[in-house]
Amino acid sequence: MEQLGLAPAVGMSGACTVSGLFSHVGDPFLDDPLPREYVLYLRPTGPLAQKLSDFWQQSKQICGKNKAHNIFPHITLCQFFMCEDSKADALGEALQATVSRWRGKFSVPLPLELYTSSNFIGLFVEEASADVLKKFAADFAAEAASKTEVHVEPHKKQLHVTLAYHFQANHLPTLEKLAQSIDVKLGCDWLAAIFSRDIRFANHETLQVIYPYTPQNDDELELVPGDFIFMSPVEQASTSEGWVYGTSLTTGGSGLLPENYITKADECSTWVFHSSYSILNASSSNALPFGDGILDRRSYEDQGLGEMAPLTIVCPPSQPLRAGSQPGPQKRCLFVCRHGERMDVVFGKYWLSQCFDAKGRYVRTNLNMPQSLPQRSGGFRDYEKDAPITVFGCMQARLVGEALLESNTTIDHIYCSPSLRCVQTAHNILKGLQQENHLKIRVEPGLFEWTKWVAGNTLPAWIPPSELAAANLSVDTTYRPHLGAGAESISSLRELGPEEQGRKDIYNRNNILIVAHASSLEACTCQLQGLSPQNSKDFVQMVRKIPYLGFCSCEELGETGIWQLRDPPILPLTHGPTGGFNWRETLLQD
């Protein structure tokens, strides 16, 4: 296991599983005895730890992720230092001996003081107590040098718990208010804990796989959900758009992978926990609090989850929240969904020539094409800029509606872009919800996508609501739109048109579902959360990652007027595109 560049946690089995070894068959670092980097942190437990965890979650949901979220709440007692894996046990013994000498010499509770600046918020340890902690860290450094011959550099700067840094300037008042609600005098124990990380990936971005991927070419990397990927910024310059180059934590293999199959993870997600000892409570050792993705072996096995793998940090999976099924007052939620699979994307921009004869009559030429299409007063050529969805697109939408129904999610009103693909998607979601005869779709021209993305920068000739209703689509023909169409910039797109009162009328209702375009998931929630607009490049890159039926959920915190993104009440929907199948070309032999 030392040859893998990975360290066993103290108190855990040192044997590597057979499947773990086989997964590293192609690992180029298999025989490279690279040492790991170790660090000593002081971690809170008890009521204060819960308050810090609440701050972590609330600040992330309201203001988005900042640099502090990469690592759990802690006080740094020493810098990262190198140590051979064979000496990991000795490090734990050094920590245990040091804690035994110093236990009872620390202030209870540890005095902390809130400090804020324009780009940093933290809880600083009062100077006299900080001096005691620094002497403790220096004693550990001496003990570690005696037992392992490693050099440990104690932290010389002011000791503190970082709450937030590298955040947007307009988020400072909100973060300050959240930080001020933390009662630093709450009961708390502190654990001196040793962690380690793989030195090869110290400066890499940590990503987590969310969808499986089977390589199509030799230079691509297989993806398994739950695995972590390390991505070096230096290696991204030569990659194609939509692809990144990364290295798998599980196998050690490297290669190209699709960017929309992974998501950002916390830096500490792949760290190994070795040992911890309470500096205040003599009965507490080798235990870490739940809720931050790290579990000690005893707690893991006591829950009946089996034997904990010696090489793995265990991250409990997040469960989808059930909107409308939780006790307490009803919360206002905004759901935003992208439309289903488009005909012109699946069958190409010349699909009209396949599907309409010389007299303009629709002819179905593929099972994934709808059996019929609505008549258009301007003729079938209007479909060039306003394409319908495929049969699969209808099925996708039905699945989303059925999932919403199963999760007991209540939809009070549904608003929709005037694009036919969005109206058809909304209609099929209502069918899945079994609400097509009760809820009617309110068509809002202001929900149409950025017109810079439309050929000729001109608006399509949309089918009027009366004609959509005549085509058996669940459209409200009495509804009068609030929002004007024709957003010519990203900022105006994000504002959903100039009518401020129109936005308020929409958002001031209970649970709202908006069915529109990929850009709508950000455009309809960014301003609601009080976030600053992204630049056009980042905005476009974000939009490209949103799949058909991409779904997000934004929830108001009580009656505060503050909104936050949260886990949707339904699971994500993934499907793979397939090419057309011609049996003659494939099976017919000459």
- The set of catalytic residues is 338-339, 517
Cβ-contact 323, 403 below 8 angstroms: no
Element (H, E) at 566: strand 563-566
Q: Tokens 């707690």 sit at which residue?
A: 299
**Cα dist. 563→64, 167, 246 in Å?**
12, 18, 34
Measure the CA–CA gap between 416 and 448, rounded to whole angstroms.
9
In three-state secondary structure terms, 145 is helix
Give the helix ranges, DSSP H, for 208-350.
Answer: 297-302, 343-347
Please tell me the distance from the alpha carbon of residue 230 to that of residue 232, in angstroms, as a whole number: 7
**CB of 390 closer than 8 Å to CB of 366:** no
The CA distance from 535 to 38, in Å, is: 38
Half-sphere exposure of 25 (CA within 13 A, CB side): 4
For residues 277 and 452, give the distance between their C-alpha atoms in angstroms, rounded to a whole number. Answer: 59
Question: 26 burial class (0-12, 13-18, 19+ CB within 10 angstroms)?
Answer: exposed
Looking at residue 424, its amino acid is Q
- Identity (one letter) of the amino acid at 23? S
How far is 293 from 306, CA to CA, in rounded Å? 17
